[in-house]
Chain A
Amino acid sequence: MNNNTFQFKRTGKLIGRTFQQNATTMRNTALVLAAIPIFFLLLGTLTSGEGASLGVRGEILTILVGVFFVISPFFFYKLYNHPKKGLPEVMLPASVLEKFVAMQVTCIIVLPLMAILFFGGVDALLTALFPNLQSGYAIAYFFNDKVTEEAFLIMFLTLQAVFFCNLLFVRGKVFKTIASFVVVNMLLSIVLVSLIMFMESLGFFDEISDDVHINLNEYDLFGFFGEENPLVVSGFLFKLFMTVVLPIIFMIGSYRLMKTKRY
């Protein structure tokens, strides 16, 4: 590929630079993550004589991974589009594509992995050391019960939306991002309800049984091709839009914002 478009070496250097730049914050975050299972074990032991249940610890790990996954653009790249503080990033000799890829890789992998390694690792260590106080591994609970294709796609969509908002808004990013999510969700709900009401007024549902149950998750992503029911097909198209098309739109939008941002 053209030297000016993409180089793995430069992308690797960018990722390394992000690590170096955020080393202190990452170290502190790792310490807090490692302290949480210890805190829960101590609290449980003091109050009820045993540590928190596997379910509680597994859910905490799931929430931490999810939250870290979603907030990572703010964590690492909050200043990227700041008119003054963003200059070292934009003027760094690397292409926009390299910067974009390095940011995506860092956001998708680093923070969630930290939660898994430090919370999950310490939790596993405590279980191994004190089997009489707590049983089961949160990390195993997380991977066996929580990591699904569906969950990953929803989290990926959310991450790309946050990534886009992080580049779109210059100030008050977190508040504006949350507000945008609320507004977009409300609008989507209104549109969907209006659509269903409109279809109902046309008598679309008259011949469909009241007991019909459509579980889109029973099918794989492109499973709707075999279906004939228009409601199922519409549902699948909507799912495809949300989990495949929309993240791609957000990614293209983020790249364009990085490419055309004026400082």
Chain B
Amino acid sequence: MNMVKMQLLSFRYGKKDVLNDISMRLEPGKIYGLLGENGVGKTTLLKVIAGLQKPWNGSCSVFGENPFNRTPSFLSRIYYLPEELEYIQNDYSIRFFAKINGPFYPNFDNEKFEAILKEFAVEGDKKLNSLSHGQTKKGAIAFALATNVDLLLMDEPSNGLDIPSKTLFRRIIVEYVSDNTCTLISTHQVRDLENLIDPIIILDNKAVLMNASLEEISEKLYFGLHSTIPTQALYSEPVPGGYLCVMENDDLGESKVNLEALFNATMQHKKRMQELFVANAAETSAPSLRPE
């Protein structure tokens, strides 16, 4: 069952096109990584799914509803964690924030909230406007996870976290995200989400270039270290000991997907990548659903 269905969705701010004919589907129980260059429309896409923005054209359906209607049944099943934390930097603590907002989410779990706060070592009773950016972000993440919603949207959640916290963040997401929750995490810092996200969605403002699982990616692409750059390499970068190369996988065997190299290879060979990941290409050309 698809939680999110987008068909030929377009969005523009004034005369500036941000998203053009974007189509994709998201399923429950997966942690999707939404990758894309700065300004490509990742935040806008999350806002459309969250019902904060209305598509200019095409359709977006979440749990079978038009998200822009913002019905209670829709809002109680979704949580959007924005990149900027102005919304939460108030004269009260994260515990108070949870106390006044938690009861609106039917599956809010206060024990889980407290456990995550403890793991993140966040001072739950300290006023949010006196906490550091990183601490505030951890508090906001703890609340988002404790809502136990079906669809969790996180915009650049690792921004502002120090290195140990980024590792902790990955572990907490794996441990605390409910089994049936569909999580969509946008980032332009792909290394932060290594070993966490699967499937991978790579976006540019013209199309979804890739929406594929790591297994599918490693079946179709090979990531390897070579002393020289092979002629068939789609992408290469110098690393200690040679070159990290991305090639089409013609019986080269399985390899570990390097997200940063994958992203760069996709940016350099957009059309070929779309062709390789056929399911996504077919999705893109599917007929449009009408808005509800």
Contacts and interface: CB of A to CB of B under 8 A. Distances in A.
A142 to B, nearest CB: 33
Q: Which bucket holds chain A's interface residue count?
A: 20 to 34
Contacts of B86: 84-85
A95 B91 contact: no
Interface string B254-265: 000000000000
Q: Which bucket holds chain B's interface residue count?
A: 20 to 34
Contacts, number: 62
B45 to A, nearest CB: 14
A95 B53 contact: no
Contacts of B104: 10, 13, 92-94
Given A20-B99, A24-B91, A90 B47 contact: no
A92 B101 contact: yes
B103 interface: yes
Interface stretch (B75-83, B234-242, B271-279): B75-83
B53 A91 contact: no
Interface in B71-121: 71-73, 75-76, 78-80, 82, 84, 86-88, 91-92, 96, 99-101, 103-105
A262 B84 contact: no
B215 to A, nearest CB: 34
Interface in A1-18: 3-4, 7, 10, 13, 17
A94 B104 CA distance: 8
B101 A84 contact: no
B87 A87 contact: yes
A103 B54 CA distance: 25
Interface in B162-219: none
Given A4-B71, A86-B87, A90-B52, A263 B76 contact: no
A131 to B, nearest CB: 42
A126 interface: no
Given A85-B87, A92-B101, A262 B53 contact: yes
A4 B64 CA distance: 14
Given A88-B88, A93-B104, A262 B54 contact: yes
Interface in A65-113: 84-88, 90-96, 98
A4 B69 CA distance: 10
A21 B47 CA distance: 25
Contacts of A4: 71-73
A40 B12 CA distance: 59
A138 B83 CA distance: 51
Contacts of A7: 72
A96 B70 CA distance: 8
Contacts of A87: 52, 80, 82, 87
6 tightest A-B CB contacts, nearest first: A93-B76, A93-B75, A263-B52, A84-B86, A4-B71, A87-B87
13 contacts: A7-B72, A10-B72, A13-B103, A20-B96, A84-B87, A86-B87, A87-B52, A87-B80, A94-B75, A94-B104, A95-B71, A96-B70, A263-B47
Given A10-B104, A92-B101, A263-B47, 8 more contacts: A4-B71, A7-B72, A13-B103, A84-B86, A84-B87, A85-B86, A95-B71, A98-B72
